[in-house]
Amino acid sequence: QVQLVESGGGLVQPGGSLRLSCAASGRINSINTMAWYRQAPGKQRELVGTITRSSDTNYADSVRGRFTISRDNAKNTAYLQMNSLKPEDTAVYYCNAQIRPWNSITRDYWGQGTQVTVSS
């Protein structure tokens, strides 16, 4: 019943911006920490950043100052605003969330991923 879906990826020039969305749907009791990960070709999946329910954030050194994570608890949605994009930001971006469904237990959910390509 519970689903997590990313959107907003695409092709952008170096120095440009993109905003990704991560929307949770279904019979949700609560959502705790949400996170963004990314995986570039030939590389391990890495943590981009996290955001708690109270909107405290943490970022990887590689994106700090350029990326901003936010969330709208009323909409069960998290966002990743990406500015000053570099070619090395090219990756599939994944959303992760700790979700407790109605009448169930909390576990991690993953979105399907959205491709971000930074190229001139």
At which residue do the structure tokens 């019979």 appear? Answer: 27
Would you state the pLDDT for residue 91? Answer: 98
At which residue do the structure tokens 């020039």 appear? Answer: 13
Would you state the pLDDT for residue 58? Answer: 98
Cβ neighbours, 10 Å, residue 116: 22
Would you state the pLDDT for residue 1? Answer: 84
**Consecutive 10-residue averages of pLDDT for the chain (120 residues):** 96 98 97 98 96 97 98 97 98 98 96 97
Would you state the pLDDT for residue 45? Answer: 97
Would you state the pLDDT for residue 119? Answer: 96
66 close to 83: Cβ distance less than 8 angstroms: yes
81 close to 19: Cβ distance less than 8 angstroms: yes
89 exposure class (CB count in 10 Å sphere: 0-12, 13-18, 19+): buried
